[in-house]
């Protein structure tokens, strides 16, 4: 009756929990405390545009990624650790300044200077006085993007910032800034206009009163990149930055764009300037501290894509040794006249720091991360230890475990990584990192029902990738190279990040998009157009990108293209389409007719980043629109409940400067929404009426896409790879009404019984220990202890845990019958918590392990519980709650012919071996105890008798000694516990042999110490 009573109580409780309370406004944040995200990689780095080091701290380097924050290595790049998480409000790093006179003092300017279309804005300057262990914000929050930070060579309180400014609209917060009190106050010492900022500045190597600065007119628009203007040029100060004058002798004097400087203490009067200009762009050199200049190289490769690159560095000990970072990495040994390309682990190069104490030591930044050389570029550290991938989207397949897919910026193909390790890779997690076709832009969409087929995109080019052969079939719509074109001259306008969508009703139906919606039924061999132009298509936006100096037409700025496609899972032929210039359209008859349903009041021109047809109702959908590229940072998130005829703005609770990139409705619980913004995650429990932070342990980084899959929350980021929040079931079950009740034990999600090697929390990627998630809610801290028991179908405990730190186990153990019936003493676990809020306890699916003399009876070496039904009982202050759950067999075992009956037989024999091991250890401990007594009585014969028994039980110390009983038992246990299988005949035979060996020793021991129930004979 007791078990029935528990079940009855819990059923009533859950009826209250799953009741959808539409009036719910704000869920207690403590409900979210037990839920955390985990990184699943990849660990191949993303873009880095700033690096730094200091000669007094060899082996210590910093890299600033464009979406992953600031990282530090203390071992020449063998390991990297993030040092900005928890301090910085943005993940985009523009420049790193380390005080030459005091390397513990650092200033970091945020907002990368590589102004490509996915650039992330900065949030000012941060300062550390302990080499990056902690940080404080020190101002300049509205400067947008920072090109350089330089610290005075002898006074760490004096620093300069070259602020590019807001990349998208004019603003006055740009120019050259100076602090003379360690960042407490800043003064703008050089300002030209609200459209012209500064990309770089440098101190004279021996006279800090002399400073050089490069003015840059830069503006990024969705349809173009502006780099350069009449106000650009080089400015010089000779009084420590108080006054400035423009220097022009020998320099271009018409259109001037981005400028970068290099100086060398080896020749203090020499200055190099890499200058984007028309006419006259190239590398310039001054030999008189910037007064006059000479063009030394106009090689085009030095200035390819200058808005993105344009970086020059000089060797501190040899001023003729000059380096330029561009698509390739270039070196000159004769002051810039001739150039040789150097190999780095990745192309697209951005920054270089050379150690002045050892000029063979460099750190170099590129689109694949940062790499360090100690031999002048012959060998480099790896980029495979930097979890800073920039991902454009996330798709999932139907494998077990499921895999995640995305386009990774600056990777050769789209990528796929597993949610959990599918096998033990001999090279670690990188062995699971696989190509998925297409290229860096993605998406890569696995075919439902056949994960080996992936529909992939590369900058508007559709392909079908076959994992089995590694080959890719190309079916480009229009089959035309879109580079270099004016958009309205193209038959089909494809954005580089062109969507692919597979119908949820028919896996043979695949959608792709230009300005039209395209559909194929034969994997791309033939395509049909099923829509008119569904974009705004304003003529003045159809322009050649890259002005007024450097043409740059790669499709990245193609405006007026379809950016999002989603077909409703509730109604076939109900298709939603959004364009990157604002319009939203819907068809309810499979493309025969289309209706413009763009929300009224939505500012025009924004990018429809995400459309989410409700998985619950066909008439409901959500839309997230980005306008920050037009200077509007507000979140634009809408809901319709009438097929788009009207929309409601649903952004209450999301900060005013957090643009929303993605939104998803939970397929299990209607009205439970997840929103990904430029700076983190949010959740709504009332269908968008109210939002609250769902950031938890997720680092600050743009959330580019979200999927809710198999009860997990799966996200992609623009700078920190993929992340998963496992098991959302507490959010599915909890309501405000339910949480006001007594302690709540949520129903655990059924879980598969898996075997893989987990790793430690904080590792990236992180693979947690397999187990059942047991979630419980405490409204207030209990007065007494908390216990948690795992029960079998006979309601017998097989594991038990408590918050009370019990004394260590004694020699007493239950009889063999008692052990078989599940007589279990609760063990202390610090993972079982008593504080108010949600807690997640993970049962590792194992029985209790063998007893040992240290009192540590844990699950180490213990058998896995067989698949079947189980119960969990939580007791708080004497009040018990009960829930049921199932342990499921690994679905992959079916292909191997392994059955549940096999696993049950394995469990029975394994538990018999555990019992044999426990009794043998008790026997050994008793013999050791009795031997001490014999020694105290000086009974040599009895001591010798006990030594003889010990020799049988325990292996003698030494190299390759013959294993005795205990080691033989452990060997058998280990053999049987390596995998899921039916025990072999030899396992049973060997168990009987070891059991008989044990029984013989027991009989011998009883001759001296009498019958002991702790180690009686085993039948």
User: What is the mean pLDDT of the segment spanning 565-569?
Assistant: 98
Q: Is residue 606 a part of any domain in this protein?
A: no
CA distances from 174 to 163, 181, 243 (A): 5, 20, 17
Of 398, 399, 395, 389, nearest in space to 416 by CA: 395
Mean pLDDT of 236-255: 98
Least confident of 392-406, 801-815, 871-885: 801-815
Locate 18 and state its tokens. Answer: 């799953």
- Whether 21 has a pLDDT exceeding 50, the answer reads no
Instruction: Quote the pLDDT of residue 828.
Output: 67
CA dihedral 482, 483, 488, 491 (to 10 degrees): -10
54 and 142 inside one domain = yes
Does 323 lie in the same domain as 283? yes
**C-alpha angle 666-668-672 in degrees, rounded to nearest 5:** 40
Q: What is the pLDDT of residues 169-211, one digit of tens each?
A: 999 999 999 999 999 999 999 999 999 999 999 999 999 999 9
For the residues 831-854, what does the mean pLDDT come to? 91
Q: What is the DSSP pairing of strand 224-227 with strand 547-548?
A: parallel
Say how far apart CA 342 and CA 330 lie, in whole Å: 6
* Domain identity same for 944 and 822: no
Q: Are residues 872 and 971 in the same domain?
A: no
For 795-847, the DSSP string reads S-EEEEEESS-PPPP-S----HHHHHTT--PPEE-TTS--SSEEEEEEE-SB-
Q: What's the rounded Cα separation, in Å, for the pair 674 and 681?
A: 7
Q: Is the pLDDT at 12 greater than 50, yes or no?
A: no
Out of 834, 858, 888, pick the residue that ends a domain.
Answer: 888
DSSP helix, strand, coil percent of the chain (3-state; round to 5) = 15, 35, 55
Q: Do residues 917 and 878 share a domain?
A: no
Q: Which pLDDT belongs to residue 855?
A: 63
> Do 183 and 322 fall into the same domain?
yes
Indicate if the pLDDT at residue 821 is higher than 60.
no
421 occurs within a structural domain: no
Q: Which tens digits make up the pLDDT trace of 72-129?
A: 999 999 999 999 999 999 999 999 999 999 999 999 999 999 999 999 999 999 999 9
**705-729 pLDDT, tens digit each:** 999 999 999 999 999 999 999 999 9
Domain-located, residue 224: yes
Res 337: pLDDT: 97
Least confident window among 6-20, 88-102, 794-808:
6-20
Kindly state whether residues 157 and 290 are assigned to the same domain.
Answer: yes
**pLDDT tens-digit map of 25-43:** 667 888 888 899 999 999 9
Whether residue 925 is found in the same domain as residue 884: no
Mean pLDDT of the chain: 93
Query: What is the Cα gyration radius of the chain?
Result: 33
Find out whether the peptide bond into 765 is cis, omega within 30 degrees of 0.
yes
Is pLDDT above 90 for 19? no
User: Stretch 215-242: mean pLDDT, rounded?
Assistant: 97
Measured on CA atoms in the order 757, 760, 764, 766, is the torsion positive or negative? positive
Cα dist. 725→674, 728, 753 in Å?
A: 12, 7, 19
| Band of residue 742 on the pLDDT scale cut at 50, 70, 90 | confident
The number of folded domains in the chain is 3
- Give the model's pLDDT for residue 1014: 74
Q: What is the CATH number of the domain that holds 218?
A: 2.130.10.10
What is the C-alpha to C-alpha distance for residues 694 and 36, in angstroms, rounded to an integer? 10
Assign 228 a pLDDT band (cuts: 50, 70, 90). Answer: very high
Q: What is the mean pLDDT of residues 634-643?
A: 98
Q: How far apart are CA 39 and CA 724, in angstroms?
A: 7
Unique residue bearing structure tokens 């091991």: 917
Cα distance between residue 143 and residue 165, in whole Å: 5
Find out whether 620 and 560 touch, Cβ atoms under 8 Å: no
The answer to whether 372 and 361 are in contact (CB under 8 A) is: yes
User: Is 925 a member of any domain?
Assistant: yes
What angle, 0 to 180 degrees and rounded to 10, lies between the N-to-C axes of helices 940-953 and 900-936?
160
Helix (H, G, I), strand (E, B) or coil at 1001: helix
517-520, strands of its sheet edge to edge: 500-502, 510-513, 517-520, 528-529
Range of the domain at 288: 42-373
- Asked if residue 879 is part of any domain, the answer here is yes
Residue 692 lies in a domain: no
Predicted pLDDT at 856: 60
Are residues 352 and 276 located together in one domain of the fold? Answer: yes
**Contact by Cβ (8 Å): 585, 595:** yes
Report residue 83 as tokens: 């040092």
Out of 845, 867, 888, a domain closes at: 888
| Listed residues 373, 394, 416: the one ending a domain | 373
**In the beta sheet, which residues pair with residue 144?**
none
Is 16's pLDDT higher than 90? no
As a whole-number percent, the residues of the chain with pLDDT over 90 amount to 90
893 found inside a domain? no
From the list 236, 213, 356, 214, the residue with the least C-alpha distance to 289 is: 236
Residue 95's alpha-carbon distances to 158, 230, 262, in angstroms, are 16, 26, 15
Q: Do residues 299 and 231 share a domain?
A: yes
Q: Which helix (H) or strand (E) holds 911?
A: helix 900-936
Confidence of residue 332 (pLDDT cuts 50, 70, 90): very high
Rounded distance, CA 1013 to CA 1003, Å?
A: 12
Residue 164 within a domain: yes
pLDDT bin (cut points 50, 70, 90) of residue 810 is very low
- Cα–Cα distances (Å) from 622 to 72, 100, 607, 649, in that order, read 40, 52, 14, 10
- DSSP H or E stretch at residue 416: strand 415-418
How many degrees, rounded to 5, is the angle at CA 835 between CA 829 and CA 839? 65
Same domain, 139 and 178: yes
Based on the fold, state whether residues 965 and 830 are members of the same structural domain: no
In this predicted structure, what is the pLDDT of residue 487?
A: 93
């Amino acid at each position: 009756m007791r078990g029935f009573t528990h079940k009855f109580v819990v059923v009533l409780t859950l009826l209250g929990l799953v009741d959808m309370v539409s009036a719910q406004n704000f869920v207690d944040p403590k409900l979210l405390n037990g839920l955390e995200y985990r990184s699943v990689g990849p660990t191949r780095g993303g873009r880095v545009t700033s690096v730094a080091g200091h000669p007094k701290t060899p082996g210590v380097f910093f890299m600033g990624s464009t979406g992953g924050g600031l990282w530090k290595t203390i071992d020449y790049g063998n390991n990297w650790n993030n040092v900005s998480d928890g301090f910085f409000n943005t993940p985009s790093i523009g420049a790193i300044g380390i005080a030459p006179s005091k390397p513990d003092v650092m200033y970091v300017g945020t907002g990368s200077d590589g102004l490509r279309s996915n650039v992330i804005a900065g949030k000012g300057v941060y300062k550390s006085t302990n080499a990056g262990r902690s940080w404080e914000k020190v101002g300049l929050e509205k400067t947008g993007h920072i090109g350089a930070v330089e610290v005075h060579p002898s006074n760490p309180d004096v620093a300069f910032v070259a602020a590019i400014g807001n990349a998208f609209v004019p603003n006055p917060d740009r120019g050259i800034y100076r602090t003379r009190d360690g960042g407490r106050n800043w003064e703008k010492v050089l300002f030209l206009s609200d459209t012209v900022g500064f990309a770089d500045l440098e101190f004279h190597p021996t006279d800090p009163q002399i400073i050089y600065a490069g003015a840059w007119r830069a503006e990024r628009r969705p349809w173009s990149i502006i780099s350069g203007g009449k106000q650009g040029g080089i400015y010089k100060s000779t009084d420590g930055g108080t006054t400035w004058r423009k220097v022009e002798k020998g320099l271009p004097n018409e259109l001037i764009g981005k400028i970068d400087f290099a100086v060398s203490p080896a020749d203090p009067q020499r200055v190099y300037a890499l200058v984007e200009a028309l006419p006259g762009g190239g590398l310039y050199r001054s030999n008189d501290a910037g007064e006059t200049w000479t063009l030394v190289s106009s090689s085009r490769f030095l200035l390819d894509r200058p808005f993105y690159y344009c970086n020059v560095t000089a060797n501190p000990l040899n001023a003729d040794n000059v380096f330029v970072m561009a698509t390739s990495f270039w070196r000159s040994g004769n002051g810039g006249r001739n150039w040789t390309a150097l190999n780095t682990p990745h192309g697209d190069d951005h920054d270089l720091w050379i150690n002045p104490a050892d000029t063979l030591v460099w750190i170099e930044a590129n689109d694949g991360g940062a790499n360090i050389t100690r031999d002048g570029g012959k060998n480099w550290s790896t980029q495979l230890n930097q979890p800073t991938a920039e991902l454009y989207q996330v798709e999932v397949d139907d494998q077990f475990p499921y895999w995640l897919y995305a386009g990774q910026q600056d990777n050769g193909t789209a990528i796929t990584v597993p949610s959990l390790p599918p096998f033990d890779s001999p090279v670690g997690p990188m062995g699971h990192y696989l190509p998925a076709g297409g290229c860096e832009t993605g998406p890569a969409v696995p075919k439902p029902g056949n994960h080996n087929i992936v529909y992939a995109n590369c900058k508007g080019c559709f392909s079908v990738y076959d994992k089995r052969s590694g080959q890719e079939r190309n079916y480009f719509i229009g089959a035309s190279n879109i580079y270099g074109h004016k958009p309205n001259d193209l038959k089909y306008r494809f954005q580089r990040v062109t969507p692919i969508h597979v119908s949820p009703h028919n896996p043979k139906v695949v959608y792709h998009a230009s300005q039209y919606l395209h559909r194929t039924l034969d994997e791309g061999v033939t395509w049909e157009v099923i829509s008119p132009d569904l974009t705004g298509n304003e003529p003045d936006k159809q322009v050649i990108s890259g002005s007024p100096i450097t043409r740059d037409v790669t499709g990245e700025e193609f405006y007026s293209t379809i950016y999002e496609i989603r077909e409703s899972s509730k109604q076939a032929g109900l298709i939603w389409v959004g364009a990157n210039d604002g319009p939203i359209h819907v068809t309810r008859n499979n493309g025969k007719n289309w209706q413009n349903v763009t929300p009224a009041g939505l500012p025009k021109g924004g990018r429809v980043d995400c459309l989410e047809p409700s998985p619950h109702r066909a008439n409901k959908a959500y839309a997230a629109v980005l306008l920050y590229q037009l200077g509007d940072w507000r979140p634009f998130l809408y809901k319709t409940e009438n097929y788009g005829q009207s929309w409601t703005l649903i952004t209450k609770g999301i900060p005013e400067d957090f643009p929303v990139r993605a939104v998803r409705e939970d397929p299990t619980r209607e009205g439970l929404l997840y929103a990904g913004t430029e700076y983190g995650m949010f959740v709504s429990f009332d269908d968008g009426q109210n939002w609250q932070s769902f950031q938890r342990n997720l680092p600050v980084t743009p959330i580019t896409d979200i999927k809710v899959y198999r009860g997990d929350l799966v996200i992609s980021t623009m700078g920190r790879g993929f992340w998963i929040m496992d098991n959302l079931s507490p959010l599915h079950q909890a309501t405000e009404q339910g949480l006001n009740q007594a302690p709540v034990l949520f129903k655990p999600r059924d879980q598969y019984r898996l075997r893989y090697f987990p790793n430690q929390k904080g590792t990236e990627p992180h693979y947690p220990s397999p187990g059942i998630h047991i979630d419980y809610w405490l409204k207030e801290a209990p007065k007494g202890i908390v216990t948690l028991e795992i029960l079998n179908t006979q309601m017998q405990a097989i594991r038990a845990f408590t918050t009370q730190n019990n004394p260590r186990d004694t020699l007493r153990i239950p009889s063999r019958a008692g052990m078989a019936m599940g007589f279990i003493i609760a063990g202390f676990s610090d993972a079982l918590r008593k504080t108010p809020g949600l807690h997640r306890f993970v049962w590792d699916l194992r029985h209790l392990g063998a007893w040992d003399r240290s009192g540590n009876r844990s699950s180490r070496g213990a058998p896995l519980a067989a698949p079947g039904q189980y119960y969990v009982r939580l007791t708080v202050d004497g009040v018990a709650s009960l829930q049921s759950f199932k342990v499921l067999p690994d679905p992959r075992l079916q292909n191997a012919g392994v059955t549940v009956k096999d696993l049950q037989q394995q469990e029975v024999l394994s538990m018999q071996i555990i019992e044999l091991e426990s009794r043998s250890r008790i026997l050994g401990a008793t013999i050791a105890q009795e031997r001490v007594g014999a020694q105290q009585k000086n009974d040599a014969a009895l001591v010798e008798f006990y030594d003889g028994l010990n020799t049988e039980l325990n292996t003698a110390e030494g190299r390759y000694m013959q294993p005795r009983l205990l080691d033989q038992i452990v060997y058998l246990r280990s053999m049987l516990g390596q995998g899921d299988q039916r025990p072999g005949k030899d396992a049973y035979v060997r168990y009987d042999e070891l059991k008989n060996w044990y029984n013989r020793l027991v009989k011998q021991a009883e001759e001296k110490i009498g019958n002991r129930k702790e180690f009686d004979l085993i039948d």
